Amino acid sequence: MAVWATVFLEFWKRRRAVLAYDWDLVDWEEEEEDIRPQFEAKYSKKERMNPISGKPEPHQAFTDKYSRLIVSASGIFFMILVVIVAVFGIVVYRVVTVSTFAAFDWALIRNNSQVATTGTAVFINFCIIMLLNVLYEKVALTLTNLEQPRTESEWENSFTLKMFLFQFVNLNSSTFYIAFFLGRFTGRPGAYIRLINRWKLEECHPSGCLIDLFMQMGIIMVLKQTWNNFMELGYPLVQNWWTQRRLRREFGQKAMDAFPQWEKDYNLQPMNTYGLFDEYLEMILQFGFTTIFVAAFPLAPLLALLNNIIEIRLDAFKFVTQWRRPLPCQAKDIGIWYGILEGIGILSVISNAFVIAITSDFIPRLVYAYKYGPCAGQGRAGERCMMGYVNASLSVFRVADFESKSQPRTNGSELFGEPVRYCRYRDYREDPNSEEPYSYTLQFWHVLAARLAFIIVFEHMVFTIKNLIAYLIPDLPKDLRDRMRREKYLIQEIMYEAELERLQKEKNEKKKNNKVHHNEWP
């Protein structure tokens, strides 16, 4: 996925160069843009000479600009804290609910308390995400206008960065919690860490944390893509239906049929105030979902592909039949979106390294195969070398050491015919009868060291491959580079011939003047 993301971005550079050349925007710069009317009205009394054009223009003082940026950054930080608070609320819900479901009378819920908790928490989390997105848009708009950007491109870049940060943190905060924090700080049997000294913190599914992460990503991705597609098609359809109904009441069906095409088009829904912003944001968030946790959710690329096949036709229908034609504007590239895509590509390498090393059982299995299993010291691993792995990954706990509030309901005699004195749990801790009961074993430290070593080696290796691919793929296609060189050559030839013609004309005029002057000499 890291290689694909790099290749995707490099080939997009090539495609962008072709489009910029075809639309004659290769040398177009944002400085050629007009100043925003809001900026001009705000700072019309403070002018300075533009060093490029030599004309006076409105100027924003350094202290005013950066004081506004500080206030805007504080607002962004506050909204991110709101997301963290919302995630903490979901965590509390999971902690309380898993205990409630575990004591449920209905056996189906009681036996699947972990799955039921994760499913309901993800659904609630999705509802919170959609509600906060509405708030974030208004906050981002207010903060961007507070900054008073000079041009429309600066305004769009500032607004884009804020909305992406808000939406990205809002959409992925719970996923990051499940991937890297869930079940890491719960303590051990007999010494659990509790919330308000009552509820035990939630642990991962018995089969591992990847199951919880898989459910979180699958439900969120499917629900969000379904909701986006419904809103993109359903909302303009309902709005246009209501508009047509109102016009039929006002003018009648016959008069409406006689409307010219431009008036029928004018009655369609206006283009979004932010242009293609929503379309870009949807694709960028999907790109992040597809790459950042692909090691835990390999179905993400397939779901993204299926969604985009549908999305292409929905967008075509929407732009042609439901929306007015948008006003065109110049741009030589996709602006700040490309930098965001590159940032997501870097983050995806880091996050997948941590998922493989920390969330999955990949590293503990390798450590067992090469260090503690039947093939230890032989330098090889296979299915036979994994015999006894489950037993080695479980620690022993003495039932008598349970806290009073964690005591089991029965002593196990109903199941096994005699009282159960010991149980097993996932961890690497010493036997309760050892000199240091329940302390970490040497295998724990070996696994931890292997995880850290894997993260460092994996990241450096993948980043090296990414940089090598980016270096090997040229930013301009060969035929485009040849066309640009040919164009430059022809321009130089034309300039050379024009200069040569001018010099020749000056020379002829000079000869003619000299000849006339000679004939007039007495």
The pLDDT tens digits of the residues spanning 37-56 come to 888 788 777 777 776 666 77
The pLDDT tens digits of the residues spanning 504-515 come to 888 888 877 776
pLDDT at 522 over 60: no
Residue 451 and residue 356 in contact, taking contact as beta carbons nearer than 8 Å: no
Confidence class for position 459, pLDDT limits 50, 70, 90: very high
> pTM for the whole thing?
0.79
pLDDT at 203: 74
Residue where the block lists tokens 């008598």: 400
Would you give the DSSP letter of residue 453?
H
Residue where the block lists tokens 């790109």: 287
Side chain identity, residue 364: P
The pLDDT tens digits of the residues spanning 325-364 come to 887 777 788 888 999 999 999 999 999 898 888 888 889 9
Q: Which residues contact 163 (CB under 8 A, 6 or more apart)?
A: 136, 137, 140, 277, 281
pLDDT at 329: 76
No. of H helices and E strands in the chain? Answer: 17, 8
pLDDT at 455: 93
Side chain identity, residue 385: C
Residue 394 and residue 425 in contact, taking contact as beta carbons nearer than 8 Å: yes
Residue 253 and residue 244 in contact, taking contact as beta carbons nearer than 8 Å: no
- Tell me whether strands 187-188 and 191-192 are parallel, antiparallel or unpaired: antiparallel
**Per-residue CA distances from 318 to 7, 223, 236, 272, 506 (Å):** 31, 21, 8, 12, 63
Enter the tokens of residue 449: 């060291």
